[in-house]
C-alpha cells in the first residue's frame, strides 16, 4: 500500500501553521474567528478531492460525504481543527526531523528546551521515523491536526482508488473540542451515521472505548471592597478566601500531578480577579459517575466551609456537565470497536486499549446516540511546547482508516 508519508507530512505542516486556538471565554460558535481559517480550508480541500455534499454548518462543523461503492453501514470519521488554549498557539513554526537518529531533539527558538528518549520512552521506539515538532515557543497542534491530515489523506486515496470497496462515509471536522464544545446538539442528525470514529488518540494501536467523565466548575467569591486605609473590621478580601478554597482542597491526592491510572482528580485551571471578587475554575474528572459526583460534592463542601468562616462574603459554586465515559454506552454494542480491532489485526498492528485520562468529541457523540470510539494518530506530549508526532505513526493510522472502510464493506 502507498506509504502516504509525504502527503501526511505536507498536510500536517500546512495545517499546524494555521492559528486555530479555541477560547472558553467566548460565547460564539466557533469560539474564535481564526478557526474559520482551518474550517474554510477544509471546505476547499474536500471539494478539491471530489467529496460530495461539502457543507460548513451554522455551528461551525464541516461535513462531507465520500460516496460508497458497496453496501454497508454508514461510517463517520471525525477530527477537530482547534488547538488547546493552555499554551501559546500563535505563530506555530512546524519542522520535520527527518530520519530521527535516537538522540536529543533541540528547538531553534528555545535552546533550553530538549526532547529526549530518556524522558519520553515512546520516542526511543521511533528511530528512523520522521518526527514533527514545533520550534520551541508554541505547541505544535498535532492535537488534532494530525487527525485532520490522516482523514484527508485517507479520503483522497479512497476517491482516487474506486476499486477499494467502501460503504458511504461521512467526514466531520469540528471546532472547539478542546473547550468541550465540539459536538453541537444538531451534529448527530446532520452527520447521519450508524457509528463513527474520532482520530484523536496517541500511541500506535490505540483503540479507546473508555474515557473520563467530566464536569466543569466555576467558583465565584465576592468580598467586601473598601479603601485599605480604612479597612479594619470592614474589608473582606476575596483573594484570601479564594486561596483558602484552593488550599483546603486535597493537595497530595486528587490532583492531576498526584494521580494516574483510573484515579480521578479536581484540577484548578484558572484563578482571576481582585480583592473585591475572584473567580476560580476547576475541571473535575473520574471514570465513574459516582466518583465524579463525589468530587463535585467535595468542592461544594469546601466552598461552604470557607463561606461559613466569613458570612459577609458570597461564595457560589456552579458545576456544569461536560461529557461522560463512552464505555457506559459502547459496552452494550461493541460493533465499531470490534471492527477497528479486526482492521488492526489485518494490518499486523498490536492493539492498545486502555482507559484514557481525557475525553474526545466521541465521548459526547456516544452519549448522544452515535457510538464513537477513538483511534490513534501518534500525537505525543500534547498541549505544550514538547508536542511531537511521528509521520510513520500517522501513516499507520491512515491505513487503519482505509482498512476499517474496507472491512465494513466486506461485512
Nearest to 197 by CA among 410, 398, 7: 398
CB of 324 closer than 8 Å to CB of 264: no
| SS3 state of residue 123 | helix
Sheet with 62-66, edge to edge strand ranges: 52-56, 62-66, 169-174, 75-80, 195-201, 374-376, 207-208
Question: What does the DSSP 8-state code read for residue 86?
Answer: T
**Does 109 participate in catalysis according to the annotation?**
no
Residue 189 CB contacts under 8 Å (≥ 6 apart), including other chains: none
Catalytic residue among 177, 361, 387, 393: 177
Distance CA 61, CA 55 (A): 8
Question: Does 82 qualify as catalytic in the annotation?
Answer: yes
Of 7, 82, 176, 387, catalytic? 82
Binding residue ranges: 80, 143, 178, 200, 383
From the list 66, 76, 3, the residue with the least C-alpha distance to 339 is 76
Q: How many CB atoms lie within 10 A of CB 396?
A: 21
Are 15 and 145 in contact by the 8 Å Cβ rule? The answer is yes
Question: Rounded CA gap, 46 and 44, in Å?
Answer: 6
Active site residues: 82, 177
Amino acid at each position: 500500500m502507498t506509504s502516504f508519508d509525504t502527503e501526511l507530512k505536507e498536510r500536517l505542516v500546512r495545517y499546524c501553521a494555521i492559528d486555530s486556538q479555541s477560547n472558553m471565554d467566548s460565547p460564539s460558535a466557533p469560539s474564535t474567528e481564526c478557526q474559520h481559517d482551518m474550517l474554510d480550508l477544509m471546505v476547499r480541500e474536500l471539494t478539491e478531492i471530489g467529496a460530495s455534499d461539502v457543507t460548513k454548518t451554522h455551528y461551525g462543523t464541516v461535513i462531507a460525504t465520500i460516496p460508497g461503492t458497496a453496501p454497508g453501514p454508514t461510517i463517520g470519521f471525525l477530527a477537530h481543527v482547534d488547538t488547546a488554549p493552555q499554551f501559546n498557539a500563535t505563530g506555530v513554526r512546524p519542522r520535520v526531523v527527518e530520519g530521527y537518529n535516537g538522540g536529543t531533539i533541540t528547538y531553534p527558538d528555545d535552546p533550553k528546551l530538549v526532547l529526549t528518549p530518556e524522558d519520553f520512552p515512546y520516542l526511543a521506539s521511533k528511530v528512523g521515523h520522521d518526527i514533527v515538532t514545533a520550534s520551541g515557543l508554541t505547541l505544535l497542534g498535532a492535537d488534532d491536526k494530525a487527525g485532520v491530515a490522516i482523514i484527508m489523506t485517507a479520503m483522497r486515496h479512497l476517491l482516487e482508488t474506486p476499486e477499494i470497496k467502501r460503504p458511504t462515509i461521512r467526514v466531520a471536522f469540528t471546532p472547539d473540542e478542546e473547550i468541550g464544545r465540539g459536538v453541537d446538539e444538531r451534529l448527530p442528525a446532520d452527520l447521519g451515521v450508524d457509528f463513527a470514529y474520532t482520530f484523536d488518540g496517541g500511541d500506535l494501536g490505540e483503540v479507546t472505548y473508555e474515557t473520563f467523565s467530566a464536569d466543569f466548575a466555576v467558583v465565584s467569591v465576592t468580598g467586601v471592597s473598601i479603601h485599605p486605609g480604612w479597612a479594619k473590621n470592614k474589608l473582606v478580601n476575596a483573594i484570601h478566601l479564594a486561596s483558602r478554597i484552593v488550599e483546603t482542597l486535597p493537595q497530595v491526592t486528587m490532583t492531576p500531578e498526584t494521580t494516574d491510572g483510573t484515579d480521578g482528580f479536581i484540577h484548578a485551571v484558572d484563578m482571576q480577579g481582585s480583592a473585591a471578587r475572584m473567580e476560580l475554575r476547576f475541571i473535575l474528572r473520574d471514570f465513574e459517575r459516582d466518583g465524579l459526583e463525589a468530587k463535585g460534592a467535595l468542592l461544594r463542601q469546601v466552598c461552604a466551609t470557607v463561606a461559613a468562616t466569613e458570612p459577609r462574603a458570597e461564595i457560589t459554586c456552579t458545576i456544569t456537565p461536560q461529557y461522560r465515559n463512552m464505555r457506559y454506552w459502547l459496552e452494550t454494542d461493541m460493533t465499531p470497536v470490534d471492527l477497528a480491532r479486526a482492521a488492526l489485526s489485518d494490518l499486523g498492528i498490536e492493539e492498545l486499549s486502555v482507559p484514557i485520562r481525557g475525553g474526545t468529541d466521541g465521548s459526547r457523540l456516544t452519549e448522544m446516540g452515535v457510538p464513537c470510539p477513538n483511534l490513534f494518530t501518534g500525537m505525543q506530549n500534547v498541549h505544550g511546547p514538547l508536542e511531537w508526532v511521528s509521520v510513520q505513526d500517522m501513516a499507520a493510522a491512515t491505513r487503519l482508516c482505509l482498512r476499517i472502510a474496507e472491512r465494513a464493506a466486506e461485512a
